[in-house]
Amino acid sequence: MNKLFLALLLLFTSMSISAQQALFGGAEIVSPEVHDNGTVTFRVMAPEANNVQLVGDWMPMDGWVRKPQAMTKDDKGLWTLTTATLSPDLYSYNIVVDGVKTTDPSNVYMIRDVSSVFSVFIVGGGKADLYKVNNVPHGTVAKRWYDSPGNNMKRRLTVYTPAGYETSKKDYPVFYLLHGMGGDEEAWIALGRTAQIMDNLIAQGKAEPMIVVMTNGNVAQQAAPGESAKGLYKPTMRLDHTMDGKMEETFKDVMTFVESNYRVKKGMDNTAIAGLSMGGFHSLHISRSYPKTFGYVGLFSAAVKPMEGTTSKFYEDMMTSIKAQNKNGLKLYWIGMGKTDFLYQGMVEYRKELDAINMSYEYHESEGGHTWTNWRDYLSIFATRLFK
Amino acid sequence: MNKLFLALLLLFTSMSISAQQALFGGAEIVSPEVHDNGTVTFRVMAPEANNVQLVGDWMPMDGWVRKPQAMTKDDKGLWTLTTATLSPDLYSYNIVVDGVKTTDPSNVYMIRDVSSVFSVFIVGGGKADLYKVNNVPHGTVAKRWYDSPGNNMKRRLTVYTPAGYETSKKDYPVFYLLHGMGGDEEAWIALGRTAQIMDNLIAQGKAEPMIVVMTNGNVAQQAAPGESAKGLYKPTMRLDHTMDGKMEETFKDVMTFVESNYRVKKGMDNTAIAGLSMGGFHSLHISRSYPKTFGYVGLFSAAVKPMEGTTSKFYEDMMTSIKAQNKNGLKLYWIGMGKTDFLYQGMVEYRKELDAINMSYEYHESEGGHTWTNWRDYLSIFATRLFK
C-alpha cells in the first residue's frame, strides 16, 4: 500500500511542477517578489514571446488608460520588471503577453473589479499592515441571502461579524458599508479588505467590535456576477436602477433583515452608514431619508446629486432634510475626498451648501483620486470614529 | 451637477471598454460561449501573438500533462477554438499565449487549485444543473475561525448552513466534508460547488437540510493560502502533517467548535463524514477512531493505508475498529471510486478486507479517475443518502 501513497505524492507534486516545467522549460517562478525596501520584482517565463509588458495601478494614468511598461527579457526567456519603491498599499496589476492583457501566471491572488480581473499584492508597513491577515482574533465573513419585498426578490449581501460574536451574548452596533457603481456585495470584502481592516483595528483597540453589512447597491441585480441564476455571464457596468431612488427606498428591507437576524444594538448611536462614490450618494440620501436612524454617516468620494430628470421623492427637499438630520442627534458626518477626484468640485459645492445651513461635518482631503487606495484609507479612519 | 453624474458614467464605462479597446483594438470579446448543443467557443483577441493555445480538463491526458490544442487566428487577430459537445459539468481551462499559460482575459470566473488558477465554465443540463445557482432558497456560506488546542492554533473553516437555519429554531444534522492533498477549506466550496449542490438538492427535497462543515486537513496550516498571517505567499503542496494522525487526533476540536456554535442534532444518526482522496483517508480513520460518532461515512477516491513508518495510534488496529464500527449502528459506509483512478487497486484490496469481516458497505464505481468531476458526482449522490 505504500506504493499507492508514493503514487499519490508523485501525482500531485509532478502535476504542479512538471506541468509548469513542460510549458516553461524551467524552475518555478516567483512573481511578484516584494522586497524589504518596497520595490517589487515581477517575473514571467516566456521564451517564445516577443513582447511582455506590465500595467499596474501604481503607474501614472495617460488619459483614461495606463500605458503598460516593457519587461526585460534575459537569455533564458525570463522577462522581469522591478519597480521603484512603492509605498505601503494593496496593488493590482496585469501582464500583457504579445498584446494579451491577462493575469500573472505565477500569482494566485486575484481580485475582480466589475469585468476585469487583476493580480494583486501587498507592500506592507504603515497603513497596509491593516490590510494584512495578522495574528489577531478573526471575525466571521458570511455570504447571506435576504428577502427584499421592495424589490420583489431575494438578494445577497456580505456580513462581517467581529471575533467573539457567536459566543458572546452581547448586542453589537451595525455599520452599513456601500460600494460604488459597477461593484456589488463582493467589492468591499475583496478590494476593500474590510475583514482585515476591521479585525486589525478591533484587535488594536482602535475600533469598537461591530457588525459590518456590505450590500449590493444594484437593486435590479440579485447578487454579484456568477452568484445568481443569471449564471456565469460576462459582467458589465449596471447603470439602470442604481441611482433612481430604489436603493434608498428598499434599504429598509436590508435593515429589517439585519435586525431580525443579528444581535443588534438599535438607535442612531449604534448605527452607521458609509459608501464610496455611488455608495456615498446612496449613504447621503438614505441617511437623510430615514430620520433619526443613522448617527454616523460617511461619504467617501461621493457623488451628491441625482441625474437630471430623476423624479424619486428620495431626492426631494435635500437641504431641508439635511438640516433636520443635523439637529436630530447626528454624531458624525464625515466626508473624504481626493484632490484629483473628478467628483472633487461637486463636493466643494456641496460643502458650501452644508456651510450655509451650519451643518456639522468633518472634511478629510487626501492626495489622489477616485481609487480603492483612498477608500481603504477612508474606511480605516472612519471605522475608528464609530460608536464611541 | 448633472455634468458630474455624466462624468461618473463616462469614467466607468470608458475605463472598462476603452481599456480593452486600447489593448485589443476591437469590441468586447465573449469567451467562453457555451452553445445550446453543449459545444463551447473560446475567443482570444491577440493580433500580435504567434501561437495561442487552449488546455482544458476535458482534453485527454498525455502522461502527467495535457497537451494544449491550437486555436485558429482570423484576419483580425481573433483566435478561436470550438470544442466538440461536452457533457454537462463544470470545466476548467487555461489559455497559452506564446508559451505563457494563464487565464482567459474575457472570463472573470476562476478557481484556484493548489498553486494553479483556472478559468471555469459550466455546461448545464443533467447533473451540472446541481452546480448552478438556481432560483431556489440559498443557504449561508461562512468563513469562520475556531480554536484548535490540539494544534495550538486558531484555524479557519467553511460552514454551509441551509436556507432557513438562522430564523428557524430547529437543530440540524452535521456533515463534515474533507478535501484532498493540496486542498484547504476553500476546495469543496469552490471546486466542489458544495453550496450550489446542497441548495439544489435540498430545494428538490432530495437531501435533508443539514450543516456542512468544510475543514482544512493540513493541520500545520492555519488557513488557505492568503488567509493567514503567512501573507500572500505562493502555495505549494503541503506534505508534512497531512497523513500522520494529527488531523485525526485534533478532529475533536472541530466537532467541539461546531457543537458549541451551531444548533446541532447530535448522535451518529445525525452525523456524517466524507472526504476525497486524502480526505477520504482522514474520514476512514476518523470515523473508526471516534466510536459511535459517525453514522454515515463516505470515502471518495480514498487513500486507505498510512505511509510506511507512520507510528500514530490512529492507524493501529484498523480492521478491529472497523469491525466494531460495523456493529455499532453504522447507517451507511459509502465508497466511490473511478475505474482509472491510481488509487483503484488499493480500494480493491480494502474491499476484500471489508468483505472478510462482513462489513456492510455500498460501492459505487464510476468512469474516470481522480477528478473533481467524480467528487462533485459522489457528493451529489452521498448527500441524498444522509439522515433519512
Q: B142 vs A137: CB contact, 8 Å cut-off?
A: no
Nearest to A106 by CA among A83, A78, A128, A86: A78
Q: A46 vs B156: CB contact, 8 Å cut-off?
A: no
Q: Which of A373-382, B186-195, B232-241 has the lowest mean pLDDT?
A: B232-241
* DSSP result, A234-248: PP----TTSSSSHHH
Q: Given pLDDT bands bounded at 50, 70 and 90, which one contains residue B311?
A: confident
Distance from CA of B257 to the nearest CA of A (A): 10
Q: What is the mean pLDDT of residues B73-92?
A: 97
Nearest CA in chain B to A227: B133
Q: A22 vs B65: CB contact, 8 Å cut-off?
A: yes
In chain B, residues with a C-beta closer than 8 Å to the C-beta of A306 are 5
DSSP assignment letter at A102: E
Nearest CA in chain A to B153: A135
Q: A137 vs B114: CB contact, 8 Å cut-off?
A: no
Q: Given pLDDT bands bounded at 50, 70 and 90, which one contains residue B24?
A: very low
Q: Which residues make Cβ contacts (< 8 Å) with residue A144, sequence separation at least 6?
A: A156, A157, A158, A159, A261, B140, B166
Q: Residue B323 has what pLDDT?
A: 97
* Contact predicate A301/A276, CB 8 Å: yes
Give the C-alpha separation, B320 to B317, whole Å: 5
Nearest CA in chain A to B104: A102
Q: B99 vs A46: CB contact, 8 Å cut-off?
A: yes
Residues A335, A251, B2, CA angle at the centre, nearest 5°? Answer: 55
- Across the interface, of A52, A122, A163, the residue whose CB is closest to B232 is A122
Q: Which residues make Cβ contacts (< 8 Å) with residue A106, sequence separation at least 6?
A: A28, A29, A30, A31, A43, A44, B234
- Percentage helix, strand, coil, to 5, in chain A? 30, 25, 45
Whole-number CA gyration radius for chain B: 23
Other residues' Cβ atoms within 10 Å of the Cβ of residue B61: 11
Distance from CA of B292 to the nearest CA of A (A): 28
Q: Which residues make Cβ contacts (< 8 Å) with residue A368, sequence separation at least 6?
A: A338, A339, A340, A341, A374
pLDDT for A25 beyond 90: no
Q: Could you tell me the sign of the dihedral formed by the alpha carbons of B370, B194, B361, B324, in that order?
A: positive
Q: Model confidence over A277-305: pLDDT tens digits?
A: 999 999 999 999 999 999 999 999 999 99
Distance from CA of B198 to the nearest CA of A (A): 15
- Across the interface, of A4, A98, A304, the residue whose CB is closest to B346 is A4
Nearest CA in chain B to A304: B1
pLDDT above 90 as % of chain B: 84
Q: A229 vs B133: CB contact, 8 Å cut-off?
A: yes
Q: Residue A238 has what pLDDT?
A: 63
Nearest CA in chain B to A348: B1
Q: Model confidence over A208-238: pLDDT tens digits?
A: 999 999 999 999 999 999 999 999 998 887 6
Q: Residue B27 has what pLDDT?
A: 57
Q: What is the mean pLDDT of residues A250-275?
A: 97
Q: Residue B322 has what pLDDT?
A: 97
* Contact predicate B253/B218, CB 8 Å: no
In chain A, residues with a C-beta closer than 8 Å to the C-beta of B260 are 167
Give the C-alpha separation, A197 to A203, whole Å: 10
* Comparison of pLDDT for B353 and A14, the residue scoring more: B353
In chain B, residues with a C-beta closer than 8 Å to the C-beta of A181 are 8-9, 12
What pTM was estimated for this model as a whole?
0.94
Cell of A205: 483597540
Cell of A75: 537569455
Q: Residue A236 has what pLDDT?
A: 80
pLDDT above 90 as % of chain A: 85
φ and ψ at residue B96, rounded to 5 degrees:
-125, 110
* Partners of B228 in the β-ladder: none
Q: Given pLDDT bands bounded at 50, 70 and 90, which one contains residue A269?
A: very high
Q: Residue A62 has what pLDDT?
A: 83
Q: A232 vs B120: CB contact, 8 Å cut-off?
A: yes
- Across the interface, of A110, A142, A346, the residue whose CB is closest to B140 is A142
- Across the interface, of B18, B109, B308, the residue whose CB is closest to A232 is B109
Q: A7 vs B142: CB contact, 8 Å cut-off?
A: no
Give the C-alpha separation, B33 to A234, whole Å: 10
Distance from CA of A234 to the nearest CA of B (A): 7
Q: What is the mean pLDDT of residues A159-188?
A: 96
Residue of A108, A181, A191 for testing the chain B interface, max B β-carbons within 10 Å: A108
Q: Model confidence over B101-146: pLDDT tens digits?
A: 999 999 999 999 888 999 999 999 999 999 999 999 999 999 999 9
Residues in chain B: 388
pLDDT for B4 beyond 50: no
In chain A, residues with a C-beta closer than 8 Å to the C-beta of B40 are none
Q: What is the mean pLDDT of residues A251-264?
A: 97
Q: Model confidence over A53-75: pLDDT tens digits?
A: 999 999 988 877 899 999 999 99
- Across the interface, of A110, A134, A303, the residue whose CB is closest to B110 is A110
Q: Given pLDDT bands bounded at 50, 70 and 90, which one contains residue B17?
A: very low
Residue of A2, A3, A4 for testing the chain B interface, max B β-carbons within 10 Å: A4
Give the C-alpha separation, B263 to B173, whole Å: 9
φ and ψ at residue B286, rounded to 5 degrees:
-65, -45
Distance from CA of B113 to the nearest CA of A (A): 9
Residues in chain A: 388
- Across the interface, of B16, B30, B229, the residue whose CB is closest to A116 is B16
Nearest to A36 by CA among A104, A124, A153, A142: A124
In chain A, residues with a C-beta closer than 8 Å to the C-beta of B232 are 107, 109, 120-122
Cell of B192: 466542489
pLDDT for B11 beyond 90: no
Residue of B54, B76, B100, B199 for testing the chain A interface, max A β-carbons within 10 Å: B100
Q: Residue A237 has what pLDDT?
A: 73
Q: Which of A89-93, B12-16, B297-301 has the lowest mean pLDDT?
A: B12-16
Helix (H, G, I), strand (E, B) or coil at A223: coil
Helix (H, G, I), strand (E, B) or coil at A187: helix
Q: Which residues make Cβ contacts (< 8 Å) with residue B113, sequence separation at least 6?
A: B92, B182, B183, B187, B191
Distance from CA of A330 to the nearest CA of B (A): 26
Burial of B187 (0-12, 13-18, 19+ CB in 10 A): buried
